């Protein structure tokens, strides 16, 4: 069958940066619900639309198609008192963006004596990325999957509460 809206698509993939370094690689194929459910990058969905098992593609993705441009306004210097004592570079915290209720993930990027620098950009923001994938399975989604908007396990197992 061809990949259409409401297909469950399984792909083996790797995500690379512009220099060709592998950032992420699937050990097992991953499955997503095709057709605008935010299961995967929209540009990858476009590339896979109406393709079939065995199809391979390599999609170049600009920041606007992935994690956005790097926004220097999302870098903040905070007082160290506001953080746990065992804070380390690379730790992540939830926080709200000024003037917005949206919860963002901030990553600690630098620690000085009494200051902590946190960055609300996604670690891959501003990067051109390459997504290489091969379609390994396609099946119609179940009614339950469609009502949830995501894929359930092969055995119908359902590890979440909604």
Q: Which residues bind Zn ion (CB under 5 A)?
A: 148
Beta-carbon contacts of residue 46 (< 8 Å; ≥ 6 apart): none
Tokens representing 86 are 């065992």
Beta-carbon contacts of residue 147 (< 8 Å; ≥ 6 apart): none
Q: Compute the least distance from the CB of residue 145 to Zn ion, in Å.
A: 7
Q: Closer to Zn ion by CB, 39 or 120: give it.
A: 39
- 3-state secondary structure at position 127: coil
CB 78 within 8 A of CB 119: no
Q: Closer to Zn ion by CB, 129 or 152: give it.
A: 152
Q: Compute the least distance from the CB of residue 137 to Zn ion, in Å.
A: 19
Q: Compute the least distance from the CB of residue 149 to Zn ion, in Å.
A: 8
Q: Compute the least distance from the CB of residue 71 to Zn ion, in Å.
A: 33
Q: Closer to Zn ion by CB, 112 or 157: give it.
A: 157
Q: Are β-strands 103-111 and 115-119 bridged in parallel, bridged antiparallel, or unpaired?
A: antiparallel
Residue nearest to Zn ion (CB): 148
Q: Closer to Zn ion by CB, 64 or 154: give it.
A: 154
């Amino acid at each position: 069958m061809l990949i259409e809206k409401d297909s469950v698509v399984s792909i083996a993939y790797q995500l690379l940066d512009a220099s060709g370094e592998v950032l992420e690689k699937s050990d097992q194929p991953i499955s997503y619900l095709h057709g605008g459910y935010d299961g995967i990058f929209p540009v990858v969905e476009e590339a896979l639309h109406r393709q079939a098992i065995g199809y391979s593609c390599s999609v170049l993705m600009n920041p606007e198609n992935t994690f956005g441009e790097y926004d220097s306004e999302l870098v903040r210097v905070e007082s160290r008192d506001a953080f746990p004592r065992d804070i380390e570079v690379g730790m992540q915290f939830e926080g709200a963006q000024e003037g917005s209720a949206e919860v963002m993930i901030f990553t600690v990027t630098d620690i000085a004596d009494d200051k902590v620098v946190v960055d609300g950009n996604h670690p891959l923001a501003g990067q051109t990325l390459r997504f290489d994938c091969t379609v390994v399975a396609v099946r119609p989604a179940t009614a339950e999957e469609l009502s949830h908007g995501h894929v359930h396990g092969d055995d119908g197992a359902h590890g979440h509460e909604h």
